[in-house]
């Protein structure tokens, strides 16, 4: 048996709203698609309906109440409804504010309609979905900073850090690498700046913790 569902689209750009609604209405799994140009009109309509939609597609940059504030109210009033953001915003703040507010999906406008339908089906069945570029931002957010720090360090800086972890003094590091003590100090200064630390001990600590 097909998993039937009802959809609502909250989007202030009429062309996008109606084109997407027309496409989704053709899917046999979707029994109805309602469209609204604002959160206010959506909530007004829902106050007169016996049940909310199963899945909502919402923009963030809406007139009046924005999409993120709307998600919070939807989650409070209709906890069984999934919300997918469909927006032009790809900055991290908007993404994480939406996810924290309760969005279960995040798609960029311009996503092909078949992919939007795929996301709706997946989310309705208990999964989650994000545009690939958005998913990359989310993953990168949780990747430890060390993966980027290592790329910032020069070969010589890495060699100096290795010397520090071996307990060598600046003088011994200079001798080992055949450079002057002043050059060691120059690299140490750059290492501190790149690692956002202020002491040799902090550098060694990061190295031992595998944070480089």
- Residue 33: predicted pLDDT: 97
39 CB-contact burial (10 Å; exposed 0-12 / middle 13-18 / buried 19+): buried
Residue 192 clears pLDDT 70, i.e. is over it: yes
d(CA 152, CA 6): 50
Average pLDDT, rounded, for the chain: 88
Domain spanning 146-208: CATH 3.40.50.150: no
Q: Work out the pLDDT band at 187, boundaries 50, 70, 90.
A: very high
- Residue 206: predicted pLDDT: 83
Query: What percent of the chain is modeled with pLDDT above 90?
Result: 58
Phi and psi for 56 in degrees, rounded to 5? -115, 135
* Domain spans in the chain, listed from the N-terminal domain onward: 5-142, 146-208
Q: Average the pLDDT over 95-105 and give the result.
A: 87
Residue 10 clears pLDDT 60, i.e. is over it: yes
Phi and psi for 78 in degrees, rounded to 5? -135, 70
- Spatial strand order of the sheet with 55-58 comes to 30-36, 5-10, 55-58, 82-87, 105-108, 129-130
* Span of 21-30, 69-78, 82-91 with lowest mean pLDDT: 82-91
Strand partners, 36: 10
Q: Average the pLDDT over 65-90 and give the result.
A: 93
- Residue 169: predicted pLDDT: 87
Q: Work out the pLDDT band at 149, boundaries 50, 70, 90.
A: low
CB 89 within 8 A of CB 96: no
- Residue 140: predicted pLDDT: 67
Helix, coil or strand: residue 110: coil
- In this structure, the dihedral spanned by the alpha carbons of residues 140, 125, 87 and 91, taken in order and rounded to 10 degrees, is -10
- Residue 142: predicted pLDDT: 61
Alpha-carbon distances, residue 145 vs 36, 54, 112, 141 (angstroms): 42, 38, 33, 9
Is the overall model pTM greater than 0.75, yes or no? Answer: no
CATH code of domain 5-142:
3.40.50.2300
- Residue 1: predicted pLDDT: 39
């Amino acid at each position: 048996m097909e998993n039937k569902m009802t959809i609502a689209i909250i989007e202030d750009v009429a062309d996008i709203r109606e084109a997407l609604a027309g496409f989704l209405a053709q899917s046999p799994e979707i029994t109805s698609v309602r469209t609204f140009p604002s959160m206010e009109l959506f909530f007004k309509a829902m106050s007169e309906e016996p049940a909310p939609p199963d899945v909502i597609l919402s923009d963030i940059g809406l007139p009046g109440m924005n999409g993120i504030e709307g998600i919070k109210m939807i989650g409070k009033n209709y906890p069984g409804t999934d919300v997918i953001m469909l927006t032009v915003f790809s900055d991290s703040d908007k993404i994480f504010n939406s996810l924290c507010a309760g969005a279960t999906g995040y798609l960029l406008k311009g996503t092909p309609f078949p992919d939007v339908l795929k996301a709706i089906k997946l989310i309705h069945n208990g999964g989650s979905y994000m545009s690939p570029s958005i998913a990359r931002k989310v993953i990168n957010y949780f990747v430890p900073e060390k993966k980027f720090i290592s790329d910032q360090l020069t070969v010589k800086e890495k060699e100096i850090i290795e010397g520090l972890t071996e307990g060598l003094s600046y003088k011994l590091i200079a001798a080992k690498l055949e450079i002057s003590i002043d050059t060691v100090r120059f690299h140490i200064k750059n290492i501190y700046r790149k690692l956002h630390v202020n002491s040799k001990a902090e550098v060694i600590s990061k190295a031992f913790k595998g944070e480089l």
